[in-house]
Structure 1
Amino acid sequence: MQDRVVLVTGASRGIGKAIAKNFGKKQAMVIVNYLKSEDLAEQVVKEIEDEGGHALALQADVTQASEVNGMVKAILDNLGTIDVVVNNALHHYTFNPKTRKTAWELEWEDYQGQIDGSLKGTFNLCKAVLPQMKRQGYGRIINMVTNLMDFPVVPYHDYTTAKAAVLGYSRNLAKELGPFGITVNCVAPGLTYPTDSSRETQEDVREILIRLTPMGRLALPEDIAGAVAFLASKEAGFITGQCLRVDGGLTMT
């Protein structure tokens, strides 16, 4: 990954932070995108640089096309390329079975918020980077989804529906972009702990998932980062349109 320019959205904390730091260790030039947490994003940059890597924090709301276009233009003006995009940002969600809305409590606005955060954000960034990736005949797009699509152990309806839409979008992109040397894949984490979103997942639910998981534990952010790095690597150059489940074998498809 040396000298590759990698843009990771929602990279100021949690899984996004782990992904960004892992790319930094591999000597990529990492763009740490954030929405509001400038201090946290700059801390990620510092941690990458302290380990000998290179990084830059850039603010943009991925649900706003104008902000995404501005961010991509700034990257291209200064670095000349974008080689890898990781669509990790999402509308805030808390995985708490006791506070989730049931099917009969949800309104369309609940779905729309998650669709905007996951699908619209992914769409905006892909559309912004595709002209450059097509020109250079190379690109890696990795979109974050969820293993809840396969095994909704807790029915987080709005979140899971939005992520399923991202998977469908990604496979259509993979079909159309293959001739340009661009791969598009998804990573579907299991419950990843600790992250801000998973902190409210109750202990009994975590224990149930651990018992059901062949590897006998929950995912760590670093587990997800490793899968993303693989899909961005030259070794994965002939893999596209796929969804890699990173959940210790909880879902087997």
Structure 2
Amino acid sequence: MTEARTAIPLNEHIVVVTGGARGLGASISRAFLREGARVVIGYHRSQDDAQRIVDEYPDRARCAHLDIRDRQSIQEFAASSSELFGAAPTTLVNNALVDFSFNGEARPKAADISAEEFRTQLDGSLHGPLAMIQALRPGMAERGFGRIVNIGTNLFQNPVVPYHDYTAAKAALLSLTRTFSHDLGPEGITVNMVSGGLLRETDASSATPAEVFDAIAEGTPLRSVTTPDELADAVLFFASPWARAVTGQNLIVDGGLVKG
């Protein structure tokens, strides 16, 4: 008989959400908190926003400074996140985004984009998640249980806007998702990705013209643009017992705009 895979209910999770104070990150933090989980919100420049979430859930939310481009900051954050609730985190959501605005008209085209712009996004969307996983893995491995959810993009399949640096970095993160799922699976750790399209609305998408939102909505079977709360629901799924046999997957959550 095959041994049952380890699973714990959402209200027993200790969750780390990078960039968890604003926009999509705040929706993810609140989604886990509504399910009874304990959540450590990693913030860089948004301490007041993080503290507001803590004030809403004073018994189960904590916040700590985190710069995902700095390994020392990540190590300090990982240590403090274990101390805040007296146990190592079970779940990591790599959500933080470094200095990016979703405005296709203002983004550099192929002839102009610089290697430095690629490095900036790789630092935030690949090197940061890599360091976060490495910092939190020991606690997950010791417990024999861990859930890692990386935030991606549907631009892999539908590169309709020139977000070259952002899309390349997220594509690298998808590769890491798949290779790490194989490497970490024997330790009881799953690694998955949730990929949205343009979300209505976050700070990063606030520069997007209204007509772009309307055009996207018209192109989806649901005739709507995905909200941060809707994408957060999919993140919960990968952390839940219902996804205990799912790893190395990329789930697209965009109202059906892009097909697998």
TM-score by length of 2: 0.94
Listed one character per residue, the Cα deviations across residues 153-173 of structure 1 (whole Å, up to 9, x for unaligned) are 212101111100000011110
* Structure-2 residue corresponding to 1:244: 251
* Structure-1 residue corresponding to 2:168: 161
Q: Which structure 2 residues correspond to residues 21-170 of structure 1 after superposition, within 5 A?
A: 21-49=30-58, 54-78=60-84, 79-170=86-177
Listed one character per residue, the Cα deviations across residues 88-107 of structure 1 (whole Å, up to 9, x for unaligned) are 00112111122110001101
Count how many residue pairs are aligned between Structure 1 and Structure 2. Answer: 250
Offset at residue 9 of structure 1 (A): 0.5
Listed one character per residue, the Cα deviations across residues 120-156 of structure 1 (whole Å, up to 9, x for unaligned) are 1101100101111111100000000101111012121
| DSSP 3-state at the match of 1:42 | helix
Letter in structure 2 aligned against 1:77: E
Letter in structure 1 aligned against 2:112: E
| DSSP 3-state at the match of 1:198 | coil
Q: Which structure 2 residues correspond to residues 177-188 of structure 1 after superposition, within 5 A?
A: 177-188=184-195
Distance in structure 2 (CA, Å) of the matches to 1:77 and 1:203 = 44
Distance in structure 2 (CA, Å) of the matches to 1:228 and 1:98 = 30
Q: Which runs of no fewer than 5 residues in structure 2 stay unpaired?
A: 1-9
User: RMSD over aligned Cα, in angstroms?
Assistant: 1.0
Letter in structure 1 aligned against 2:54: V
Letter in structure 2 aligned against 1:90: L
> Equivalent of 1:176, from 172, 179, 183?
183
Distance in structure 2 (CA, Å) of the matches to 1:23 and 1:127 = 22
Letter in structure 2 aligned against 1:163: K
Distance in structure 2 (CA, Å) of the matches to 1:141 and 1:45 = 22
Q: Which runs of no fewer than 5 residues in structure 1 stay unpaired?
A: none
Listed one character per residue, the Cα deviations across residues 55-102 of structure 1 (whole Å, up to 9, x for unaligned) are 001101011111111111122234222100000001121111221100
Distance in structure 1 (CA, Å) of the matches to 2:195 and 2:168 = 13
Offset at residue 206 of structure 1 (A): 1.5
Offset at residue 10 of structure 1 (A): 0.1
| DSSP 3-state at the match of 1:2 | helix
Asked whether the equivalents of residues 21 and 47 of structure 1 are also in contact (C-alpha less than 8 Å), the reply is no
Offset at residue 181 of structure 1 (A): 0.8
Offset at residue 202 of structure 1 (A): 1.4
Asked whether the equivalents of residues 170 and 241 of structure 1 are also in contact (C-alpha less than 8 Å), the reply is yes
Percent identity, please.
38
